[in-house]
Copies of this chain bind each other. A is one copy, B any other.
């Protein structure tokens, strides 16, 4: 569902050179607003104190290259924006091959790919290229140019959109915009988030409010949290951070700090039915913005949802994480899982059967009338639902206990509500 549309969107934003600050983020958000005008853009000035951190100077890069004596660009930002180390300072120098090699990063074990490298918090000027290309360079003098700027008067940019529901309680969907030209990590997250936003916008009604944020990783989530933490702690009942949701391999999630929040339980349940081979990574294997959302004292009930987890595929953080690595089907699979998550959240009531002993389903046309070997199974999901609709279990618990997926149980619950056989009980 929406696989092609998401893929087309990614093709538009893939070439943009994003970093944790700068015009790449703004340009990407501007394209996203075409799809979802509700997205508001926020700017936080460089130098702002955010918890233990400071919003960095704004970095932009216009061009960067290494030219050999023949005037040929052997490393070229125009070819791929991975060629320059993120947050590189401007430079214009002539270096020997030996000197050049000191400021070029390669991926030792994958000689064909260009690694993705950043240096946000230590000032340097450096390039990336493939090991093969670097090894092919001959002795000589190389002209190394980086046309970048690091503006202490700049700002950090992020996007935010809210879909209000009947309740102030909200579900937080986060993803990040700070990576340059890599497809899975991280054009896929913004793509799936954007189409999930539009799916929820189209629902006939919403019990919960849904907050979508598009931020740079780490410093962006720290900045966002520092501005909104009291509100979020009061209202967020569940949330998902999206990263690497476009490939065709695993389904996985990174558990919260203790792996015990509603979101953890939802992910376990949904994935166990959708893709029983799913992987539930411990918080010890964290690495994306769950690091901040689940930090001590922040404690938001947020998990990171991935297809193949960041760091677990060899294309990760290299030029091989390109448009061929992801697919419309991969993106659609992730989106569908998240739609199930939204449906499950919206229907996750505590149910209670309204009579003592089993109700007589037969007189309501809900039960086969001949008792015979096997006939009982036909309505098993319904009778099991009723058996555990005892005023203590929500939809999720019932699903876990009776081993039926929530999307099978939601229409059953609705039919039983219509027949006045069950009622919803306040959770508190």
Residues of A within 8 A of B (CB): 51-53, 105, 107, 115, 117-122, 218, 221-222, 225-226, 229, 257, 283-284, 286-287, 291-292, 295-298, 311, 316-317, 352-353, 355-360, 362-363, 369-373, 376, 384, 386-391, 401-403
In this complex, what residue of B is CB-closest to A401?
Answer: B284
A353's partner among B297, B360, B388 (CB-CB below 8 A) is B297
How far, in whole Å, are A387 and B387 apart by their CA atoms in the complex? 41
**A121 and B363 contacting across the interface, CB-CB below 8 Å:** yes
Query: B residues within 8 A CB of A257?
Result: 387-388, 390
- CB of B122 within 8 A of CB of A402, answer no
State how many angstroms separate the Cβ of A412 from the closest Cβ of chain B.
15
Q: Given that A316-B373, A373-B317, A376-B287 are contacting pairs, would A296 and B390 also be in contact in the complex, using a CB cutoff of 8 Å?
A: yes
Complex CA–CA separation, A371 to B225 (angstroms): 22
Check B284 against A117 for contact (C-beta < 8 Å). Answer: no
Chain B residues within an 8 Å CB radius of A51: 355-357
Question: Would A372 and B115 be within 8 Å (CB), given that A52-B355, A356-B297, A357-B298 are in contact?
Answer: yes
**CB atoms of B118 and A295 under 8 A apart:** no
Cα(A229)–Cα(B356), bound, Å: 10
Beta-carbon contact of B357 and A222 below 8 Å? yes
A424 to chain B: closest CB distance in Å?
15
A117 cross-chain contacts in B, Cβ below 8 A: 370-372
Q: With A117-B370, A121-B369, A384-B284 as known contacts, state yes or no: A360 contacts B53, CB within 8 Å.
A: yes
Structural contact, A295 and B119, CB atoms closer than 8 A: no
Chain B contacts of A359 at CB under 8 A?
Answer: 52
Give the chain B neighbours of A221 by CB distance below 8 A: 357
29 A-B pairs (CB sep. < 8 Å): A51-B355, A51-B356, A52-B359, A53-B357, A107-B373, A115-B372, A117-B372, A118-B371, A119-B371, A120-B371, A121-B362, A121-B363, A122-B369, A122-B370, A222-B357, A225-B356, A226-B356, A283-B387, A287-B376, A295-B353, A295-B356, A296-B386, A296-B388, A296-B389, A296-B390, A296-B391, A297-B356, A297-B390, A298-B356
Q: A229-B356, A359-B52 are in contact. Are A373 and B120 (CB under 8 A)?
A: no
Contact of A358 among B105, B292, B388 (CB under 8 A): B292
Q: In the complex, what distance in Å separates the CA atom of A359 from the CA atom of B53?
A: 7
Q: Which B-chain residue is minimally distant from A86 (CB atoms)?
A: B371
**Closest residue on chain B to residue A287 by CB atoms:** B376
B296 touches A52 (CB 8 A): no
Given contacts A119-B369, A295-B387, 12 further A-B contacts (CB under 8 A): A51-B355, A52-B355, A107-B373, A121-B369, A122-B370, A218-B358, A226-B357, A257-B387, A257-B388, A291-B387, A296-B352, A296-B389
Which B residues are CB-close (under 8 A) to A391?
296
Known A-B contacts A105-B372, A370-B117, A371-B117; A358 and B295 likewise in contact (beta carbons under 8 Å): yes
Taking CB atoms, residues of chain B closer than 8 Å to A229 are: 356
Q: Quick one: closest B residue to A53, CB to CB?
A: B360
Give the docked Cα–Cα distance between A182 and B352 (Å): 37
Q: Which B residues are in CB contact (< 8 Å) with A311? A: 373
